Amino acid sequence: MIISVIVVGVLVYFMGKLGIIPNIYSGYYYAVIWLAGVVLITYFLSKFIQGRMAGFIGESNASTLSFVVRLVGYVLGIAGFLFILRVGLGAALAAGGFAGLVVGLASQDVLSNIFGGIMLLISRPYEIGDRITLSTWQYGLIAPTYPPKFWSTDFLIPGYTGVIVDISLLYTTLINDDNVPIKVPNSIMVQAAIFVHSSQEVRKVRTKYEVSKEIDPDILIPKLVEEVRSLEFVIEEPSVKILDTSQNTYVVAVDAMCRTNHEEPVRSEIIKVLMKSVKQLQLKSK
């Protein structure tokens, strides 16, 4: 595409020299070619920086540099466009004020995303590769309305969790835990609450399990405390309590402070301990 712009520019130049294109219009052609060329060069240069230089300067720095290149390139493209058309400073300011009012009203969301991207570039609340949880009122989730069950996740998820993979002029892209890319407008990211997770994060994980009433809870609970505490990711003594009961069963909940980013793998290991402990007590009672 860059070659096409160069070829068209050369053709316009010679057509102007030969008089095929009136000189009064040649400036407009040059201005359009300049703007298209700068935009294309800026786009491919930013892609090159983000794709090829990430291994040398890091993904986060490459993404930031790519963002700056695009911003500077677009500004230079517009400035050169006005210069070629020989638009005076006063006329440019007057036209810019009117155009800014019209464009601002028509595309305020786009402009807010661009300024949001600039704010993210300056403040750096997160970087490429960070695992974050995004919590914002614009993307609220619906709370369940059916009666809660002990085995289901009957709570309102506070946000969207994923790994940051790109920060552009308009969007921040993250890959969620289901490996689905989510593009969030930068204006939303600036307003949102951002939870930045780390490899040393400590989370309270609750695990629920249904147990037969044939097993004495006064025997089961101390055993669960001992077994769960022995897991390498549990950093302090867990809390085990009875949450609910039915005619033949009762539900125990294990609250454990765990060193982990993801709850599911930790909860899986705790469930294994619960199953093993309950089975052992069932065999002893027979």
Please tell me the class of the 202-285 domain.
Answer: alpha beta
Evaluate if pTM is beyond 0.85. no
- Rank 36-40, 95-99, 244-248 by mean pLDDT and report only the highest: 244-248
244 beta partners: 251
Give the mean pLDDT of 221-244: 92
Residue 252: exposed, middle, or buried by beta-carbon count in 10 A (0-12, 13-18, 19+)? buried
pLDDT at residue number 40: 79
Share of the chain above pLDDT 90, in %: 22
The residues of the chain that CATH labels 3.30.70.100 are: 202-285
Quick check: 204 pLDDT over 50? yes
Cα–Cα distance for residue pair 253/260, rounded to 1 Å: 19
CB contact set of 74 (below 8 Å; sequence gap of 6+): 38, 39, 42
Quick check: 99 pLDDT over 60? no
Quick check: 229 pLDDT over 80? yes
- Rank 22-36, 52-66, 245-259 by mean pLDDT and report only the highest: 245-259
Quick check: 250 pLDDT over 50? yes
Among residues 75, 71, 84, the alpha carbon closest in space to that of 32 is found at 84
Question: How many residues are recorded in the chain?
Answer: 286
Which stretch of 30-39, 82-91, 125-134 has the lowest confidence by average pLDDT? 82-91
Report the sign of the C-alpha dihedral through residues 124, 128, 131, 137, in that order.
positive
Quick check: 221 pLDDT over 90? yes
Cα–Cα distance for residue pair 125/146, rounded to 1 Å: 38
Q: What is the pLDDT of residues 32-84, one digit of tens each?
A: 777 777 877 888 788 777 777 666 666 666 777 777 787 788 777 777 777 77
User: Can you tell me which residue has the tokens 């040059």?
Assistant: 30
Cα–Cα distance for residue pair 173/167, rounded to 1 Å: 6
pLDDT at residue number 105: 45
Answer yes or no: are the C-beta atoms of 217 and 274 closer than 8 Å: no
pLDDT at residue number 106: 44
